Structures are given as structure tokens and as C-alpha cells.
Amino acid sequence: MADHGSRLTIVEFQPSGWAKGSYLNVAAHWLWVEQDHLSFDYGGRVETFVDYVSDTQFGPEAIRLAQAAADEATLLDQTFRSPDDVARVLVARERALPKAARGSWSAYHAGMAAEMAGRTADATALFQSVQDPRVQPAVARVSTLLADPAGFRTEVEQLITAHRHTLGLH
């Protein structure tokens, strides 16, 4: 895991319940949400399952998976260099989703990124698009602050601090 302040880069070598080996997942996790767990907010499965047959067979595969993880983490770092980059990528991704898939956590994260980049109109539209009842409390907490950029940033900092504390990141 790499800590970037408002987001984490998560690398997971995921085992299987049915066979020895590993999948590879790499994703960004945004810390501006009140939750007690990590989630794959942008990214996910990078490599399909690699079977473990023997140390000799799996050793080179483990090295390949580790290199793929490093490459994908570097790509995330390059993608999210600034608040403007985060907003551009997340807003475009949310708008590219099929209508039935919009209006959940991805809309919340895109709205948060948009407001952090000063794109209040986009943030407003994205927050208004949230229909998922699991996400609506998070939107309600911040959407009233869109007219107050300083208040919004203070709330975001508080959310990040609380989430970091919950995850044991100090």
C-alpha cells in the first residue's frame, strides 16, 4: 500500500479458496469517505489467477506479478498527479458508464474530486445523480457545502483524517 494523502494505492495478491496461487489487484482508494474498510475505488483486477504448482514454477510468476503490481501502481501515480487530473479522470469515467451503472460510489468520488478541483457545477450534477441509498448519506454530508469551498475542504480534511485513523494510518 502506498499513501498519497487523500488516496491510497492498494496492491493485493489475492488467494483463491479453491486452489493455491494468486490473483493480482491494484487500485486507488479514496480516503474522503466515512467507512471502516478499504475499497477498490479505481482499478481492480490486473492479472487473472496464477496457479501455484511448485516453488520452481511459481517463483518466476511471483516476480512477474510483483513487476505488474509496480507497473500498475506507477500508472495510477501518473494518472492522478493533481486534483485536476483526479477530477478529469473520475468525472469522465462516471459519464462513460451506462446509465444503469451510474449514481453510486463512483459518482460520489467523481463529485468529491470535481469540487476539490473547483468544478462545482460538475460536483453538483454528480452528487444529484446519486441514487444509491448506501451512498446518499455521504453525499448529504458534503453537498450542502458546495457553496462554501473553504468549508468543503475542511469537511474533506476531517473525513480523510477520520478514515485514516480508522484504518490505523496516522
Render pLDDT for 89-125 as a digit per residue (tens, 0 to 9).
999 999 999 999 999 999 999 999 999 999 999 999 9
Tell me, what's the pLDDT at 100? 92
pLDDT digits (tens, 9 = 90+) for 22-63: 999 999 999 999 999 999 999 999 999 999 999 999 999 999
CB 92 within 8 A of CB 114: no
DSSP collapsed to 3 states, the chain: CEECCCEEEEEEEECCCCCCEEEEEEEEEECCCCCCCCCCCEEEEEEEEEECCCHHHHHHHHHHHHHHHHHHHHHHHHHCCCHHHHHHHHHHHHHHCCHHHCCCHHHHHHHHHHHHCCCHHHHHHHHHHCCCCCCHHHHHHHHCCCCCHHHHHHHHHHHHHHHHHHCCCC
What span, in angstroms and rounded, lies between the C-alpha atoms of 87 and 77?
14
Q: Alpha-carbon Rg of the chain, whole angstroms?
A: 18
The band of 17, judged by pLDDT with boundaries at 50, 70 and 90, is confident
Domain ranges of the chain: 2-79, 83-166
For the entire predicted model, the pTM comes to 0.93
Return the amino acid letter for 161: T
Residue 170 pLDDT more than 90? no
